[in-house]
Amino acid sequence: MASPRLAGFATDIPQELNPAAALAVACEAFAGGEDVAMKKWQCIVCGWVYDEALGDADHGLAPGTLWADVPDSFVCPECGVPKADFVMMEV
């Protein structure tokens, strides 16, 4: 029986890949092979920086977690201000 196909997702990912590698392959296929630019977000009060590429393991944010996917309840680990008080850093 054929597995159901989801539009835009690769269905021929080798099973021997670990889940993280399989997810990366699927994301690359879905994005058309283009890399997603990771951004940095800075607290406007104390200057603490959240780097999407690195995440923040101490606060449950895996590497690659986009700022849009960080919960609205997130607060700066240094000074406690809310997520709304962060700005994207210029590159």
Q: Report residue 90's pLDDT band, with 50, 70 and 90 as the boundaries.
A: confident
Residue 2's pLDDT band, with cuts at 50, 70 and 90, is very low
Residues 66, 52: Cα–Cα separation, whole Å? 5
Q: Would you say the pTM of this structure is higher than 0.75?
A: no
What are 22-37's pLDDT values in tens digits?
A: 566 556 655 555 556 8
Could you tell me where the DSSP H helices lie in the chain?
Answer: 19-30
Structure confidence at residue 1 (pLDDT): 43
- Band of residue 68 on the pLDDT scale cut at 50, 70, 90: very high
Above pLDDT 90, what percent of the chain? 57
User: Quick one: fold of 40-88?
Assistant: Rubrerythrin, domain 2 (2.20.28)
37 half-sphere exposure, CB direction, 13 A CA radius: 6
- Domains of the chain by residue range: 40-88
